[in-house]
Amino acid sequence: MLGAALTVGAGVSPNGETGRPASTNVPGAEYPQVHADRRVTFRLRAPEARRVQLIPGGAGNGLGPGPVDMARDDSGHWRVTVPPAVPGFHYYWFSVDGFLASDPGSRTFFGWNKECSGVEIPDPGLTFYDLREVPHGEVRSFTYYSRVTAAWRRAIVYTPPGYDRDARRRYPVLYLQHGSGENELGWSEQGRVHVILDNLLADGVVRPMLVVMENGMVARRRDAPTQGPDGRPVRGNEAFAEFMVQDLIPAVDGAYRTRADRAHRAIAGLSMGAGQALQIGLANLDLFAAIGSFSGVAPETFDVDRTYGGVFRDRKETSRLRLLWMGAGTAEPPRILGMKQVSETLNRSGIPVVWFEAPGLTHEWQTWRLCLRDFAPRLFAK
Amino acid sequence: MLGAALTVGAGVSPNGETGRPASTNVPGAEYPQVHADRRVTFRLRAPEARRVQLIPGGAGNGLGPGPVDMARDDSGHWRVTVPPAVPGFHYYWFSVDGFLASDPGSRTFFGWNKECSGVEIPDPGLTFYDLREVPHGEVRSFTYYSRVTAAWRRAIVYTPPGYDRDARRRYPVLYLQHGSGENELGWSEQGRVHVILDNLLADGVVRPMLVVMENGMVARRRDAPTQGPDGRPVRGNEAFAEFMVQDLIPAVDGAYRTRADRAHRAIAGLSMGAGQALQIGLANLDLFAAIGSFSGVAPETFDVDRTYGGVFRDRKETSRLRLLWMGAGTAEPPRILGMKQVSETLNRSGIPVVWFEAPGLTHEWQTWRLCLRDFAPRLFAK
């Protein structure tokens, strides 16, 4: 359970360390250890190596800005303790004589197009993503065939507590996308979407909903045209839009007890997934009435009447949106923070946008957990 | 999809190799590559390393018996091609200057108490674990509280196709355990239990059932007594038995539409899990009417009237068993193959046991997939 890693009175290790194994470790693994002051000690065994480094996953990582040299001890272990980390989930890996590999002590989490190590730094002030004694929904693996990608696919579907009990009740659906290099497991494994929604439901602040998560790194089938009808090349995002509209939504509406209308269907995503949510949502207002952009990248130039396919030129059309929501961490790069200006421009143009900021946080899962906590309760108002 | 990795006419790589990326690779990863003759080429980048080895997961691994030296090329990559591998799923990892780590090109699979790399070697003669165009069940993550372990836990539950459609139908349950060092995901990720059952159902040879998979590496809660009432130390397996009977089965019967009687409840497992299935099943004939041992370890000495707690002394009691099933690969170690003698002794003593052999296979997942294919259709006869 998150939050359990830090306990007052934690023992002191033989090395004088006061850390506890991270909640993200594999069972029995002593390292990484998280200290009460949020410093983190990493350790690995590589007796014959000459150079070993800890590599935080990306420049904006809450563990630090870049590679950190580790020091060898007499037992063939390499070790480093990094300064207090930002609370939340951080990707990392090691470089051992140039070999970039995960930490055998950590569970793996798909990110950066590979199975990454991850470390969870507790935030004693936040409990909304802790497993609590409340009714729990399920996280389901749903197998279906996609014609656009010409393959059997797996979607991850969160069903709220009680879904199986009343076989006549139907539910609204949130389509929720991960970021670049991640996959359909990101929101449950790294984001803890099911825990967050179970807690919000128990607190009575969110409506019961299904959440559908798919792999947004979608390629078209090999024989599909690589140019659109207008002659322009078809980008990955366009293939994903085609796949979602033609394959995923009908499959979900066929297999689950959904309320299959636009008022009860929303789309959101983080980073690359935010771009997909805006692109697909705005181009399909017949399908979606709510759109969420979590740490989306701002367009290089934003023009209300031209950007996003010019959809906002038709104010009557976009007034069908019940919720347009944008958020980011205040420590994110300028291209992400630029979405604040986009939201302000839209608001000035009479298009209501909710803008949300996660204070002090950057382009990481803690920001997106907080985005979800603010976004989900606004969905599917009666 | 399994079986898709080998295609006639596969291209020849710049290195003269004819392999195709394994189906177990992460998307986009070129290596490992499986060749048409089942040789496998592994490659990793470690420009500054001095010694790199491929380590098959265990001595009986279908990739080979032990570490294999890899050779460095001018680009800083290390490479090796191993002789034709046994079909099925094999764990492996690398040693880079003594650092034992997973292959960044592979998905990870929990085994050996860590997140292992794995490679799937297709068997063109077997289709029962290939994803086919048949109705598909779901694989669900079920959250519940366990008093014995004093923790929230996750069980993996397979529900057959149509489970959500008829809210009055109730289903028998198979409790299915992984081996030592694995976890509750082993049977779905490595074993493909859901694919196998979907296919057997489509073929009409198995009854619709739930399959419940939990983590058998169970520790008691910290304040629980470490000695039993008889003064003997409580072993892990005893804690698991207590946990399963007191926590898991009631939670499953409470949350799912089960047929909650002994005739419709079975227990099976592989290796360590086979020991747990025999121990828990035989000690709880009021709860289970069918038991399966997949590659279980034979007792050092077997005495019908004494081994397994002496339960077979009471022939009337054990005659309540509707199915006692034991199986192994013919290439497994003597302690595993010793179960054949156990089954023969039981049969001679008037206790019917089904004995099954997977020809040429050893202590690996391919054996256990084949065990499941033979075992499952025998369950829950009307």
The domain spans of chain A are: 3-121, 138-224+233-378
Minimum CA–CA partner of B150 in chain A: A1
Using CB atoms, pick whichever of A28, A102, A144 lies closest to residue B101: A102
Using CB atoms, pick whichever of B27, B28, B98 lies closest to residue A49: B98
Check residues B349 and B224 and name the one with the higher pLDDT. B349
Using CB atoms, pick whichever of B1, B98, B133 lies closest to residue A47: B98
Q: Which chain A residues are closer than 8 Å to B144 by Cβ?
A: 136
Confidence at residue A16, expressed as pLDDT on a 0 to 100 scale: 57
The residues that bridge with A156 in the sheet, in sequence order, are A141, A213
Q: What are the pLDDT digits (tens) for B112-158?
A: 999 999 999 999 999 999 999 999 999 999 999 999 888 899 999 99
Mean pLDDT of A172-176: 98
Measured distance CA(A241)–CA(A247) in Å, rounded: 10
| A42 exposure class (CB count in 10 Å sphere: 0-12, 13-18, 19+) | buried
- The whole model's pTM is what? 0.93
What 3-state DSSP class applies to B281? helix
Q: What are the pLDDT digits (tens) for B269-314?
A: 999 999 999 999 999 999 999 999 999 999 999 999 999 999 999 9
Confidence at residue A323, expressed as pLDDT on a 0 to 100 scale: 98
B164 Cα to chain A: minimum distance (Å) = 7
Average pLDDT over all residues of chain A: 91
Q: Do A48 and B50 touch (CB under 8 A)?
A: yes
Confidence at residue A8, expressed as pLDDT on a 0 to 100 scale: 32
Confidence at residue B234, expressed as pLDDT on a 0 to 100 scale: 59
CATH topology (fold) of A3-121? Immunoglobulin-like (2.60.40)
Q: What are the pLDDT digits (tens) for A306-341?
A: 999 999 999 999 999 999 999 999 999 999 999 999
Which range has the worst mean pLDDT, A170-179, A286-295, B7-16, B80-89?
Answer: B7-16
How confident is residue A1, by pLDDT bands cut at 50, 70 and 90? very low
Instruction: For residue B336, report the phi and psi dihedrals to the nearest 5 degrees.
Output: -80, -45
CB-CB contact of B304 with B312 (8 Å): yes
CB-CB contact of B297 with B324 (8 Å): no
Using CB atoms, pick whichever of A97, A102, A141 lies closest to residue B139: A141
**What's the sign of the alpha-carbon dihedral A122, A126, A131, A136?**
negative
CB-CB contact of A146 with A250 (8 Å): no
Q: Do B115 and A133 touch (CB under 8 A)?
A: no
Which of B51, B94, B97 is most worth mutating to test chain A (most A CB atoms within 10 A of its CB)? B97
The DSSP output letter for B158 is: E
Helix H or strand E segment including B142 = strand B138-146
Q: What are the pLDDT digits (tens) for A4-22?
A: 333 333 344 545 567 999 9
Task: Indicate whether B378 pLDDT > 60.
Answer: yes
Chain CA centroid to CA B30, Å: 27
Q: Do B257 and A98 touch (CB under 8 A)?
A: no
Minimum CA–CA partner of B52 in chain A: A99
Q: Do B114 and A217 touch (CB under 8 A)?
A: no
CATH architecture for the domain at A138-224+233-378: 3-Layer(aba) Sandwich (3.40)
Helix H or strand E segment including B275 = helix B272-283
| A208 exposure class (CB count in 10 Å sphere: 0-12, 13-18, 19+) | middle
- Report CA Rg, chain B: 22
The residues that bridge with B72 in the sheet, in sequence order, are B78
Task: Indicate whether A179 pLDDT > 90.
Answer: yes
Confidence at residue A222, expressed as pLDDT on a 0 to 100 scale: 54
| A355 exposure class (CB count in 10 Å sphere: 0-12, 13-18, 19+) | middle
Mean pLDDT of A284-301: 97
Which range has the worst mean pLDDT, A93-102, A136-145, A228-237, A255-264?
Answer: A228-237
Instruction: For residue B263, report the phi and psi dihedrals to the nearest 5 degrees.
Output: -65, -20
Beta-carbon contacts below 8 Å between A and B: 148
Chain CA centroid to CA B149, Å: 23
How confident is residue B219, by pLDDT bands cut at 50, 70 and 90? low
Instruction: Name every residue whose Cβ is closer than 8 Å to that of residue B266 and which is 6 or more positions away in sequence.
Output: B172, B173, B174, B175, B288, B289, B290, B291, B292, B323, B379, B380
- Output the CA–CA distances (angstroms, integers) from residue A252 to A47, A167, A169, A175, A208, in the order listed: 51, 16, 15, 10, 16
Minimum CA–CA partner of A1 in chain B: B152
Q: What are the pLDDT digits (tens) for B37-90?
A: 999 999 999 999 999 999 999 888 999 999 999 999 999 999 999 999 999 999
Mean pLDDT of A358-364: 96
Confidence at residue A11, expressed as pLDDT on a 0 to 100 scale: 42
Mean pLDDT of A106-135: 96
Please list, residue by residue across B62-71, b when 16 or more beta carbons sit within 10 angstroms of its beta carbon and e when fewer do. bbbeeebebe
Minimum CA–CA partner of B195 in chain A: A143
